[in-house]
Amino acid sequence: MISAFDTATLETALNLLGFVVGLLLGTFSYIGFKNTGSPTLFRLNISFFSIGIGFGVVGFGCLIELFVLNYSQIDSWIQTLGIGIQTVGYFFIAFSHGIKSFFPKSRYFKSIIFPLFIIPGNSLEHIIRSISFILLVYGTIETIMSYMDNRNRSTIFVATGLGLLALGEFLGWYSVIFPKSILYFISLSTKIGGLGALFVPISQVPLRGGMKFGSSV
C-alpha cells in the first residue's frame, strides 16, 4: 500500500516535471518569437509559461507545505491557484486558433459540456477544470480540422498534445469528485505527456522560423 509520504512525493515530482517542461516550451516559443516577431508565438510564449508556472505553484507548494512545514496535506487553495494559472495558458492556446465563441453552438456538444458545470458538489477547482477542458477540446478540434486541410505532419503532434491535455483535465475533473484516487496521478502524467507531444513541433520553431499554431511549423 502506498503511504501518504510516497503519494505526496509523487505528486510533487510530477508537478515539478510539468513545471520544467512548460518552461522549456515557453523558452522555445520565446526564441521563435524573437526571431520572427510572430504574434502566434508570442501568445504561445505566454501560454506555456503560464502552464509551467501553474504546475510549479502546485509542485513547490507541495514541497514547502509537506516537506518543510510538515503539514499532513497541502491546502486546497494552492491546487486551485495552480490549475487557474494553467487555465490562463489554455485560453491563449485556444486564442491562437482565433477562438470565435466560448461555448459551442451545437446542441449535442452542449449536452456533453454543460453537465461538467451542474453536477452537485461543484468547487472552484471543479469549475476551472471544466473551463480548461472546453478550451483544450476546442483547440484539439480546430487543430484536427487544420490537419485535414494541409496534411502537415507536425500538426499531428499538436493535436495529440492538446488532446492529451484535454484528457488530463477531464481525468483531473473526475479526481475532484473522487478524491484520493489514482485518477489524479494519471491526470498529471497525461498532461505532461501532452506537453511532451507539443515539445516536438515547438522545439523546431527556432530552427525553422515562424509558425501558425495548429497548421504549420
Rounded Cα distance, 33 and 28, in Å: 9
- Per the model's pLDDT, the better-predicted residue between 138 and 55 turns out to be 55
Distance CA 61, CA 160 (A): 29
| pLDDT for the residue numbered 120 | 46
Q: Which of 13, 88, 17 is nearest to 50 (CA)?
A: 88
What does the pLDDT read at residue 46?
92
Q: What percent of the chain stands above pLDDT 90?
A: 23
Domain 4-208, what fold?
Rhopdopsin 7-helix transmembrane proteins (1.20.1070)
Please state, in angstroms and as integers, the Cα–Cα distance from residue 131 to each residue in 5, 9, 94, 106, following that order: 31, 28, 11, 17
Comparing 21-25, 60-64, 118-122, which segment has the lowest mean pLDDT? 118-122
Question: For 178-197, how does the pLDDT look when each residue is reduced to its tens digit (9 = 90+)?
Answer: 766 788 889 999 999 999 99
Instruction: For the chain, give every domain's residue range.
Output: 4-208
Q: What integer is the mean pLDDT of 118-130?
A: 68
For residue 100, the model assigns a pLDDT of: 44
pLDDT at 57 over 90: yes
Reduced to 3 states (helix: H, G, I; strand: E, B; else coil), residue 75 is: coil
Per the listing, cell 453552438 goes with: 105
Percent of the chain exceeding pLDDT 70 equals: 75
CA dist 164 and 18 (Å) reads: 13
- Spell out the alpha helix ranges (H) of 37-75: 39-67
| Distance separating alpha carbons of residues 125 and 207, to the nearest angstrom | 38
Residue-wise pLDDT tens digits, 5-53: 667 778 889 999 999 999 999 998 888 888 888 787 888 899 999 999 9
Average pLDDT over residues 69-96: 82
**In whole numbers, what is the pLDDT of the chain averaged over residues?**
78
Cell of 179: 478524491
- For residue 216, the SS3 value is strand
82 vs 57: CA distance, rounded Å: 5
